[in-house]
Structure 1
Amino acid sequence: MKLKSALHLSILLLLSATVLRAQKANKAVKKPNIIIILADDMGYSDIGCFGSTTQTPNLDGMAKTGLVMTQFYNASRCCPSRASLLTGLYQHQAGVGDMVNTRKEPAYQGYLNNNCVTIAEVLKGSGYNTYMAGKWHVGTAPDKWPVKRGFDHHFGLIDGAGSYFDPTNPYRPNQHLTVALDDKPYTPEKGFYATDAYAGHAVQYIKDNQKTGKPFFLYMAFTAPHWPLHALPQDIAKYKGKYMAGWDKLREERFNRMKQLGIINKTTQLSPRDKNVPDWNSLTEAEKIAWDDKMAVYAAMVDRMDQNIGRIRQALKETGQDQNTVIMFLSDNGASSESIKGPGFTPEVTAANLKPASDPSSFTAYGFTGANVSNTPLTLFKHWVYEGGIATPFIVSYPAVIKAHRQSTQPAHLVDLMATCVDLAGAKYPATYKGNTITPTEGLSLMPVIQYKKWEGHNALFFEHEGNRAVRQGPWKLVSQYPDNQWQLYNIEQDRSEQNNLAVQNPDKVKELETLYQSWANRIGVIPFEKLSKGKGDL
């Protein structure tokens, strides 16, 4: 009898332990998958739900049933933004204070340092599989590639830009460009188109991950719509002729749509046409047609990116993971006013810049004229830290939690993505990693905003890029442009396009914010741009 009781007890204990293990396993599986989708050089008003007429049904659908944050900020340039996004630090703290070029100053060394961790490194330690597709741009040496910084797999461009059809073909003298597959260089095949190829690998990662029983983190870093303007003919055809009304009319139409959508409030003014953009009516008919062609190709690039976001969403649905996957979408900086000319480009590329944008052998950009439309209604562009350089659309889709459209005007920043991912994953941000002391994160989890709860937010947000400086605290923003270095003060809640400089009327507020900025700059290692050593490498 005692033997039977003991046997029953043993069986019960065994069953209980099995059930407990199963419950723990189920709990682990229920951790959400996390996807961060990053557009490259996309302007504030370039997708449908932020005012554009470009067809972006997938992003619009995510916004319609998700969270939209209208005052989300990046770091104004490709590689500093990526360093900040990946690490939850300001870019200087991560070692990418300027571009991916070699400098002797640690905050500007040009690649991620060992005193930061990437989201992939943190989540991998919390049971996640980690994948990346697309542009890296935070370390070009093989020992700095994504698979060395926590990603199980990566397919994409290591460098900052390149042809969408032939991405390893250099566009600058003495340049070497690399597409990598995990830890090996990859030679693109005939028929390659970057946006499709990078998303194709992302889709495969999602499908293959199903077999592992583990949640995943995917960093989907598109190169679109960064120059050169390269798109597929069927996408270009949708937009040909749609820009012949001219930039002034297009900006006005976008501005009105943005107000109707609630992206900007009724007190916002449309910034004047940029001083580098001529009157539309001063152009010849041939010049108008050439600009329409550029804009059609640019819109086609955004359209194709959205189509590929659709492929990713469909893969989630087919594998039954759509409800429990968080997707965050944003851009690394505002629209780019850069052009393809000067000694920084090869003679072949300079010649290709003169071809129509819709010609696949061209290599061109839309410059100030296109960027001024893309950043409607904001001031300036990528590189500067006015709103046109640092404002991005930000959309969060999380069907299991967010059941209907929500919109927030609270200021938030790239540094918040690390804390948000750590929160979602139930992970722990480390004090040390691989024997190195890790800089504490600067970000705050956005989970309260996602869950529609009160979020205290930041006391202040800070910006510095190549001498351009800004600090945002509450409604106030102090900003200056290098090399003028004259502080301007704006009430962003009333004046999003920074048209009414209030510095003279509010000298105490200027001094207060300047002191705040300087304290931050000293803490994180900002060096005045004119005092930086000359960098070597990828500019």
Structure 2
Amino acid sequence: MMRKSVFVCSALLMAGTAFAQGDKPNIVLIMCDDMGYSDLGCYGSEIQTPHIDALAEDGVRFSNFKNTGRCCPSRASLLTGRHQHAVGLGWMTAVDEHRPGYRGQIADTIPTLAEIMKENGYSTYMAGKWHVTVDGAWKPKDSTPNGSYPTERGFDEFYGGLTGGGNYYKPKSIHRNEEKITTFPEGYYYTDAITDHAVAFIQNHDATKPFFMYVAHYAPHRPLQAPEERIDACRERYKVGYDLLRQERYRRLKEIGLIKSAVELPIHTGEFKKQARPSWDALDAKLKEEWIEEMATYAAMIEIMDDWIGEVVEEVKKRGEFDNTLFVFLSDNGATSEGGFISQLAADLSNTPYRSYKAKTFMGGISSPLIIHYPKKIKKGAGGVRADSTHITDILPTCLDLAGIEYPKTFNGAEIAPPDGISVVPALKNEALPERDFFFEHQTACSAISGDWKLVRLSTGWSWELIHLKEDPFEQNDVAKAYPEKVAELEEKWNAWGEKNNVLPLNPKGLSWDNRVKKYTEQYPVQDGREGNNK
């Protein structure tokens, strides 16, 4: 049973009234934060996610979906359909570097998905994590909107954080539209509040128009926090340890058809630099308990999120519009090792079977689930798993395609190019998508995927690794020395992409987060983004 909402929703529209928007679908776009590839039940996990699983069962699951590897860049690409550097968010919102690809927020020369939907008659709502406005525009006391707040980039209504969040019981930078919220009621929990507002937006929606709603959950991003009774409900399943659970997840991934390789599940020992990766049996009792607590809390956070996604689905059903509502679910990047040794062992499980973590461009960092559910176009039982290579820039074109909306040729009085992504609607009809090359960069972690080949490096100063993905899908064997011509070919392609999309020059190797912020803040003391981030 769901916990009682800590907010009082506005009056309901007449019960049973169906939305009267004609053939235009409602769109509910749901993104979670820092969740690994295999962390959903429908992607092989022991974590219980029945509501998301139900969307997957009657929708389409994509097995080869790629994100940008980090939260802010992924959000920028999701909202614009373009590579993150091309819209000014090649790094994070922490600082405006006054370089075209690194302005710390989405460029005002490119429309967001919300702006396009609104222009085409949609009501637009957002609940959750924004994180595409430069920090200098909200952090200083008495800051005012700088043109890049959600309500200034296409959303009629907004509740959530301009940054990540920081705490589930007392988050930072929470806004209701443009008003900052600094006090929270007893029993407040951020995941609950996000969905309280999402449900209220549906309840109060003008029934004569379709709606687009972006629900950007902070869960299961750190800090790991959940009610104790929910953690207790998950703890027992993790006592068997990560070695067995990884094998069980891998077996289920293969049974589902999300993994088709015959390659044995590898142990990614090379990712452990400071301390060797132990087997579960070799871990001492104290560290075992720490890992169990971490995974139980993490699982509880995902399960709470799933409960609330069920509430959103139920509200749409109450309005009689479930069949004409497009649901899209994804994660912004892979699981993170940011919490240290125990967190790295946890992320190894979450990213099964892939190598590495959030902020890197190995598969563990850039692979995440993608689920598309739309009964009007995907008949019950006609869905399944698609292995087509897809990218987060594809979400915007797909939503527009299903809504029958053309991408604008101009924005703010200037001509604009088409988005970088493509519509994946053919895949929903069991038709193949075209072959494409994909390119990635974050904090000088770089990669290129072209057909069966992948070129990847940890950062500048590290050698390129060449991976033959057909034989080595989990990136275990570097064959760069055996195929130097292929390395040169893919590096040339990556450099061309970098030049075109404002990726270059890369940030100097070894410049830490704090020093990077300090460098550009000293160089450009005003960091509120008001002079226009497209300059």
TM-score range, shorter chain: 0.7 to 0.9
C-alpha separation in 2, matches of 1:236 and 1:514: 46
**Secondary structure in structure 2 of the residue aligned to 1:510:** helix
For 1:332, the equivalent position in structure 2 comes to 332
Tell me if structure 1 keeps the 8 A contact 2:287–2:342: no
What is the CA-CA distance between 1:281 and the residue it aligns to? 3.2
C-alpha separation in 2, matches of 1:326 and 1:118: 18
Tell me if structure 1 keeps the 8 A contact 2:47–2:303: yes
Pick aligned residue for 1:495 from 443, 466, 472 = 472
Tell me if structure 2 keeps the 8 A contact 1:267–1:495: no
2:403 aligned with 1:399, yes or no? no
**Secondary structure in structure 2 of the residue aligned to 1:192:** coil
What is the CA-CA distance between 1:483 and the residue it aligns to? 3.3
For 2:154, the equivalent position in structure 1 comes to 150
Tell me if structure 2 keeps the 8 A contact 1:126–1:426: no
C-alpha separation in 1, matches of 2:481 and 2:507: 26
Matches within 5 A, 1:44-193: 44-100=37-93, 101-139=95-133, 140=135, 141=137, 142-143=145-146, 144-168=148-172, 178-187=173-182, 188-193=184-189
The one-letter code of the counterpart of 2:308 is N
**Worse-matched range after superposition: 507-516 or 224-233:** 507-516
C-alpha separation in 2, matches of 1:529 and 1:408: 36
For 2:222, the equivalent position in structure 1 comes to 227
Tell me if structure 2 keeps the 8 A contact 1:269–1:377: no
C-alpha separation in 1, matches of 2:520 and 2:189: 32
Larger Rg: 1
C-alpha separation in 2, matches of 1:273 and 1:478: 18
Tell me if structure 2 keeps the 8 A contact 1:115–1:439: no
**Worse-matched range after superposition: 82-91 or 400-409:** 400-409
**Secondary structure in structure 2 of the residue aligned to 1:108:** coil
C-alpha separation in 2, matches of 1:256 and 1:88: 34
Tell me if structure 2 keeps the 8 A contact 1:478–1:513: yes
For 1:236, the equivalent position in structure 2 comes to 231
What is the CA-CA distance between 1:107 and the residue it aligns to? 1.0
C-alpha separation in 1, matches of 2:372 and 2:468: 27
2:404 aligned with 1:426, yes or no? yes
1:218-262 alpha-carbon deviations (Å, 9 max, x no partner): 111000000000112232122113212222222122122212221
1:77-127 alpha-carbon deviations (Å, 9 max, x no partner): 010100010000100011100011221212101011112110000111111
What is the CA-CA distance between 1:56 and the residue it aligns to? 0.4
Relative to 1, partners in 2 of residues 1:493 and 1:204: Cα closer, same or farther, differing over 3 Å?
Answer: farther
Matches within 5 A, 1:465-484: 465-484=442-461
C-alpha separation in 1, matches of 2:467 and 2:127: 38
What is the CA-CA distance between 1:399 and the residue it aligns to? 1.0
The one-letter code of the counterpart of 1:254 is R
1:319-367 alpha-carbon deviations (Å, 9 max, x no partner): 1111001111110000000027xxxxxxxxxxxxxxxxxxxxxxxx952
Q: Which runs of 4+ in 1 moved over 4 A?
A: 535-538
TM-score, normalised on structure 2?
A: 0.86
**Secondary structure in structure 1 of the residue aligned to 2:236:** coil
C-alpha separation in 2, matches of 1:147 and 1:308: 24
Tell me if structure 2 keeps the 8 A contact 1:131–1:219: yes
Matches within 5 A, 1:127-526: 127-139=121-133, 140=135, 141=137, 142-143=145-146, 144-168=148-172, 178-187=173-182, 188-209=184-205, 211-274=206-269, 275=272, 276=275, 277-339=277-339, 367-403=343-379, 404=381, 405-457=383-435, 459-526=436-503
Q: RMSD between aligned alpha carbons?
A: 2.0
C-alpha separation in 2, matches of 1:391 and 1:123: 27
C-alpha separation in 1, matches of 2:351 and 2:520: 30
**Secondary structure in structure 1 of the residue aligned to 2:333:** coil
C-alpha separation in 2, matches of 1:80 and 1:515: 23
Aligned length: 478
Tell me if structure 2 keeps the 8 A contact 1:269–1:499: no
The one-letter code of the counterpart of 1:324 is N
What is the CA-CA distance between 1:437 and the residue it aligns to? 4.3
C-alpha separation in 2, matches of 1:27 and 1:495: 51
C-alpha separation in 1, matches of 2:178 and 2:120: 23
Tell me if structure 2 keeps the 8 A contact 1:164–1:230: yes
What is the CA-CA distance between 1:439 and the residue it aligns to? 4.4
Tell me if structure 2 keeps the 8 A contact 1:41–1:382: yes
What is the CA-CA distance between 1:414 and the residue it aligns to? 0.7
The one-letter code of the counterpart of 1:205 is F
Tell me if structure 1 keeps the 8 A contact 2:20–2:207: no
Relative to 1, partners in 2 of residues 1:395 and 1:431: Cα closer, same or farther, differing over 3 Å?
Answer: same
The one-letter code of the counterpart of 1:321 is E
C-alpha separation in 1, matches of 2:228 and 2:278: 29
**Secondary structure in structure 1 of the residue aligned to 2:407:** coil
